[in-house]
Structure 1
Amino acid sequence: MRRVLVLQTGTTLPQVAARHGDFAAWFMRAAGLSRHDVEVARVDRGDPLPAANRFSAVLVTGSASMVTEREGWSEHTAEWLAAAVQTAAAPLLGVCYGHQLLAHGLGGRVDWNPRGRQIGTKRLATAPAATGDPLFSGIAEFRAQTTHQQSVVVPPSGAQVLAHSSLDPHQALRFGPRAWGFQFHPEFSAGIMAGYIRGRADRLAGEGVDPALLLRECGPAPRARSLLRRFVRLSREGQI
């Protein structure tokens, strides 16, 4: 069976990495993949982008970078992703930064979320288009781990909204027959989410947000994780 390509676009907070590992490891654990099932390209460090059609699926991670910074590696990756979507070379799923990068590459607009930062375990709702979607079919509401300041403020032409939250109307988008983006983090465990809240505690308090309350609300998000597993399973079985 062909491997899954993980495009890693950054690295986590040092204190989170010490306890939980880094982005690629989270995706492998959450999706039920072994190290032999995956090829990782650190695009933020200049790793070359392989041909997408060599893989059963492509996953794009989050990042501490901002899409609006227009870094060279990021713009190059956005172009690669857009070409992969347009040619349907492989099923793609972008998460957080990866979600935004897909939208940017396809002509959407990414910017600072006008509703402000979203962080913590939050309740999301699906949109009407989710009914016929192979990933979201049968899901009405679900909890998910979130942490972001930028968002897809204008989706690319033809994109379908699949899920939304009170602070972000574009929590999940379908960009094409084989391409999805999640602003939320299906690869996060509750422990990783708590690590981010603790790591950002001073900043959150300065923004008038109570980190202690966010930690009390923090908990498992199995439905969100099941969306990642479903994407990987359907991709590897050739059903999407």
Structure 2
Amino acid sequence: MPHPVLIVLHQEHSSPGRIGRLLTERGYRLDIRRPCLGETLPATLAEHSGAIIFGGPQSANDCHAYVRSEIDWIGVPLAEGKPYLGICLGAQMLARHLGAPVARHPEGLVEIGYYPIRATQAGAALLAEGGVGEGGVAEIAWPEHVYHWHNEGFALPAGAELLAEGEAFPNQAFRYGPAALGIQFHPEVTHHMMCRWTVTAADSFHLPGARPPRAHFVDRLQHDGRIRLWLDAFLDRWLASGQPMAAE
């Protein structure tokens, strides 16, 4: 049985959603930690297959001790060559760890709902690197629309490779080194999670650029199938990206 995947969440009732289900279907146990509730992160990932830091209402610019500790902790998977995936806040934390700023849109725009993204050449090649498809061509393309819920974005860190771009927030996904990936959007969101978010965070819909609640569910019917297919292949590529730890 493979080592578990470390799952970092930022609220008491948060869930890894679809990603958690896909990992367990692949035989991975989930080691769920919530630093915001005082739970610690491991000093090494020697007993983990990788780590995922999910989103949350916090900002990567917050001065909370656990936020600063999480950002610093990202050095563990980077140093050990273990797969790291940052989703929304987790991607912004990776950017901050690498020295890139995280900030609000200069015009105050947000992305709440489904918005278009475009894969770069590097992003389009990502699944092919993982051996998906025939003749080195990936069978599963990046989705054209993805689900967002954020009011801040990250600059591209020095040495990182842009994988996908958007309109209001140009940097949507990037890779740093062979095994660290950050994505600004939320492929993990299930229908149940969307119902909860649109109710508990309903005060966000007045923000400039936010899609109205009904559009979230209508757009999901159109776009979620491609997101599911992409995520299935993307996770396989990510899980295979880890490098063996150097012998001491």
**Do they fold alike, i.e. is TM over 0.5?**
yes
- Where 1:65 maps in the other structure, the secondary structure is coil
1:224/1:23 CA distance change after superposition, 3 Å: same
Query: Which residue is equivalent to 1:9?
Result: 10
1:217/1:91 CA distance change after superposition, 3 Å: same
Q: In the alignment, is the contact (CA less than 8 A) between 2:122 and 2:161 conserved in 1?
A: yes
Gaps of 5+ in 2: 130-137, 244-248
Higher helix share: 1
- Cα distance between partner residues in 2 of 1:188 and 1:37: 19
1:81-129 per-residue CA deviation (whole Å, 9 max, x = no partner) reads 13421431x1111101101001111111111133511011222211121
Residue 230 of structure 1, CA deviation: 3.1
* Structure 2 letter corresponding to 1:130: G
Larger CA deviation: 213-222 vs 154-163: 213-222
Residue 57 of structure 1, CA deviation: 1.8
- Cα distance between partner residues in 2 of 1:167 and 1:110: 14
Gaps of 5+ in 1: 12-16
1:225 aligns with 2:228: yes
The 5 A counterparts of 1:71-110 are: 71-88=64-81, 90-110=82-102
- Cα distance between partner residues in 2 of 1:226 and 1:52: 28
Q: In the alignment, is the contact (CA less than 8 A) between 2:113 and 2:211 conserved in 1?
A: no
- Cα distance between partner residues in 2 of 1:206 and 1:98: 22
- Cα distance between partner residues in 1 of 2:55 and 2:173: 14
1:140/1:28 CA distance change after superposition, 3 Å: closer
Q: In the alignment, is the contact (CA less than 8 A) between 1:104 and 1:110 conserved in 2?
A: yes
1:125 aligns with 2:143: no
1:41/1:195 CA distance change after superposition, 3 Å: closer
Q: In the alignment, is the contact (CA less than 8 A) between 1:135 and 1:231 conserved in 2?
A: no
1:150 aligns with 2:152: yes
1:78/1:239 CA distance change after superposition, 3 Å: closer
TM score, norm. by length of structure 2: 0.79
Query: Which residue is equivalent to 2:179?
Result: 178
- Where 1:188 maps in the other structure, the secondary structure is coil
Q: In the alignment, is the contact (CA less than 8 A) between 1:120 and 1:193 conserved in 2?
A: no
Same amino acid, percent of matched pairs: 23
